[in-house]
Amino acid sequence: MEQIMQSMNYLIIDYLCSAYAEGRHHDLKRMGVEPETVRMLSQLSLNQVAALSRFRAPLFRLQPDLTNLPYLVSHFERETSKDEKLHDLILRGANFTIINALNGLSRTEFNLIARSLGVDPRQNTGKPRNLTDEEIERHIEVWASIDKSLDPLEQFWLLVTQTNLPPGPVWRWLQSGGA
């Protein structure tokens, strides 16, 4: 813990000296540093600054600010849910074109995720089959029940999971104006 305190002290002193040297006096004022203190620091050599940072008096007081915590947790949950849906679609056979259009993943990211899931990234790269008339009817029925205000990834995932068909034909049907 003492080493962390010394490192933090050094970073703070270094920041104060840099702000003074670069003329960012408003930063120093905002931190509550008196002009006399800044003048004294500016006259120290690097060795003296390093020695000063080793004193056992902390120059900081950590105060947690938890006002953003609910937002961070909510964001994390949304991202986790989104990742789970992407992984599910890849496991069901969605190819790079589909995933890229829905989520903007690069080919490298797609390949890494697919391999981590034990899926060949080159799977289903050919032209997907057409849907049968029965499958189209089922798609139209399910598509009508899906909330269109949802994220496109969420809509597609719901359509694939509720119809229980491979993503390729479903994507082809959507792209051909079937929706």
pLDDT tens digits, 44-59? 787 887 787 777 777 7
The whole-angstrom separation of Cα 15 and Cα 53 is 12
Are 129 and 100 a contacting pair, CB within 8 Å?
A: no
The whole-angstrom separation of Cα 166 and Cα 179 is 17
Structural domains of the chain, with CATH: 2-53 (1.10.4000), 69-175 (no CATH)
pLDDT at 26 over 70: yes
Query: What is the average pLDDT across 137-158?
Result: 86
pLDDT score recorded for residue 112 = 93
pLDDT at 125 over 90: no
The whole-angstrom separation of Cα 19 and Cα 25 is 7
pLDDT score recorded for residue 124 = 65
Of the segments 22-36, 60-74, 83-97, which one has the largest average pLDDT value? Answer: 83-97
pLDDT at 15 over 90: no
What is the model's pTM?
0.58
Token pair belonging to 155 = 């809509």
Are 105 and 113 a contacting pair, CB within 8 Å?
A: yes
